[in-house]
Chain A
Amino acid sequence: MTYILQLVTAGLAVGSVYALIAIGIVLIYKCSGVVNFAQGAFVMMGAYLTFAASRLGLPPVLAVTLALVLMAGIGVLAERVVLRPMLKAPVVAVMMVTLGMLIMIRASCLAVWGPDPLAFPRIFPDGALELFGVFITYNYLTAGVLSILLSLGFLGFYRFTAVGLMQRCAADNPRAALAIGIHTSNQVSLAWAMSAGLAGVGGTLLATLNGLSLGLADIGLIAFPVIVLGGLTSLGGALVAGLLLGLLQSFTDGLLSPMIEDLLRAHTRIYSVGALQQVVPYALLVAVLLLRPQGIFGRKGSERL
């Protein structure tokens, strides 16, 4: 039982970081109709920028904040310089361009910081908390709590503030938004800024858990099951789906994989199914797409991938 709880806490902690990243993807999709394949690159870059900032001697809070601001700037730049000229281009072409951005950003990070994993500065204190026999390291605890707070804070901002309302108007009907005096293009830039900023913080948190490497960009792919579960148009759906995915991975890793490995060891010469954790989300993705093409939380008629 304790073991299950242990898996649940770990899963929720990682899942909440996924949620933060997925919310950014949904935000961009709602506002510009584009699935941003570069989100994973924003995640990775945010982590590298935090790393660089703390190398300069900045305290953790300032380093993360600086990275967030820089990432927001990069988000705006990506939208203004790369995407806006493509306003009239087919959506598929625009998505290919975001894929190009992923490759470019990855290559730049490779050039600056090299291919090897780096030791990420310790941002949160060492040690663990014990609650009802469940251990959770401060790393996981802070990453989880911070992500949840940021996600909920963002959802609240989107739902209840004037700027959030303008965001939703621009996403719902740009023509109508324009007519009531909303600068729709500024809203799109803002969506990219916020999305890249959230991704950057998410990247930093992931790096505190798993270390800093170019592999962080792969999270962009992990986010897709989250999106498909959530249905691409629902921010709340992205949040829930992120948590679900975290749980799923944690249980695959902690329960399913050892069980299958035992089975395989008894009957075959295969010893490890370490990659199962990576496979399960995608198997689930296919299953969801087959059963509910609009996602679990998406409405009928929302666009499919």
Chain B
Amino acid sequence: MLAVNDVFAVYDGAITALEQVSLSIGPGSLVALLGPNGAGKTTLLKAIVGMLPFERGEVTAGDILFEGASVRGCHPAVVSRRGIALVQDGRQCFRELSIAENLRAASLVSRQGAADRFEMVLHYFPFLKEMLDRPAGVLSGGQLQMLVIGMAIMSKPKLLMLDEPSLGLSPVMVQSVFDVVERLHREAGLTVIVAEQTVPRLLKLATDVYVVSRGRIVMHAPPSEMTEERLQRIYLN
């Protein structure tokens, strides 16, 4: 479904953030993309959706194929329309707009079936129902994380990518976020990539694990071979 082939990426024309990164992700998989701070997880996800040029970054070599067609160099709007949604780090939403407007805005890329997807979002996140008219800025960190996942659903993705969704959340909140991710994967049939530093729960859900360190893929293994200790050793190396 998604193939990243020998991708190199730089910031400011000089700082190399990705070196010869390759991934191959089949439909229906749930991939854990692990790596320590500054490893290049965010850079890789942004490279896939075409957002690097907006951060003074650039993919300098390699190719990115989604469903057989290259998306390298495409505008994020185009990539989004092809069916890749990125839930960015930092829970990016529109704080001054109402929750309903946030969701509606996210559905503008593919309006067909938006009403059904809206029902689906409310089904997964029932607490939003009572808050639809309130500005998104009033939500707590955990609620915001739910909202931005809901926004991603509204854009009708085939591939859903989440960048450190657990960051700064309480263990209980992390638990419910991953519950939702699992249900989206299992019930809605989405292909999912989750970038995290370590979340034991994620290793249990994942069908495939990639580990990034210093801009390179240093390990690709089934989750059964991936233990916390092994990960620690890679991180400390």
Q: Which residues of A contact B (CB under 8 A)?
A: 162, 165-166, 168-169, 172-173, 175-183
Choose one: A165, A172, A173, A176; the contact of B104 (CB below 8 Å): A165
B92 closest partner in A (C-beta)? A176
Query: Judging by beta carbons under 8 Å apart, are B93 and A173 in contact?
Result: yes
B93 closest partner in A (C-beta)? A176
Query: Judging by beta carbons under 8 Å apart, are B151 and A165 in contact?
Result: no
Query: Judging by beta carbons under 8 Å apart, are A175 and B75 in contact?
Result: no
**A180 and B109 in contact, given A173-B94, A173-B95 (Cβ under 8 angstroms):** yes
1/0 contact string of B76-100 vs chain A (CB within 8 Å): 1100110001101000111111000
Q: How far is the CA of A176 from the CA of B49 in the complex (A)?
A: 13
A–B complex contacts, Cβ < 8 Å, 24 sampled? A162-B108, A165-B104, A165-B105, A165-B108, A166-B105, A166-B108, A168-B96, A169-B97, A172-B95, A172-B96, A173-B94, A173-B95, A175-B54, A175-B88, A176-B88, A176-B94, A179-B51, A179-B76, A179-B80, A180-B105, A180-B155, A181-B77, A181-B155, A182-B108
Q: How far is the CA of A182 from the CA of B81 in the complex (A)?
A: 10
Question: Which of chain A's residues have a CB closer than 8 A to the CB of B75?
Answer: 183
* Interface of chain A, main secondary structure: helix
Is there a chain A Cβ closer than 8 Å to B190's Cβ? no
Choose one: B80, B94, B96; the contact of A181 (CB below 8 Å): B80
Question: Which of chain B's residues have a CB closer than 8 A to the CB of A176?
Answer: 88, 92-94
Is there a chain A Cβ closer than 8 Å to B182's Cβ? no
Q: How far is the CA of A258 from the CA of B215 in the complex (A)?
A: 75
Q: How far is the CA of A173 from the CA of B91 in the complex (A)?
A: 11
B108 closest partner in A (C-beta)? A162
Is there a chain A Cβ closer than 8 Å to B101's Cβ? yes
Question: Which of chain A's residues have a CB closer than 8 A to the CB of B96?
Answer: 168, 172
Shortest C-beta distance, A188 to chain B (Å), equals: 13
Q: How far is the CA of A162 from the CA of B97 in the complex (A)?
A: 13
Question: Which of chain B's residues have a CB closer than 8 A to the CB of A177?
Answer: 94, 105
Is there a chain A Cβ closer than 8 Å to B106's Cβ? yes
The CB with the most chain A CB atoms within 10 A, among B81, B96, B109, is that of B96
**A181 and B92 in contact, given A165-B101, A168-B97, A169-B97 (Cβ under 8 angstroms):** no
Question: Which of chain B's residues have a CB closer than 8 A to the CB of A175?
Answer: 54, 88, 92
Q: How far is the CA of A177 from the CA of B97 in the complex (A)?
A: 12
Query: Judging by beta carbons under 8 Å apart, are A181 and B88 in contact?
Result: no
The CB with the most chain A CB atoms within 10 A, among B51, B75, B76, B93, is that of B76
The CB with the most chain B CB atoms within 10 A, among A175, A177, A178, A181, is that of A181
B80 closest partner in A (C-beta)? A181
Shortest C-beta distance, A84 to chain B (Å), equals: 13
Shortest C-beta distance, B137 to chain A (Å), equals: 10
Question: Which of chain A's residues have a CB closer than 8 A to the CB of B88?
Answer: 175-176, 179
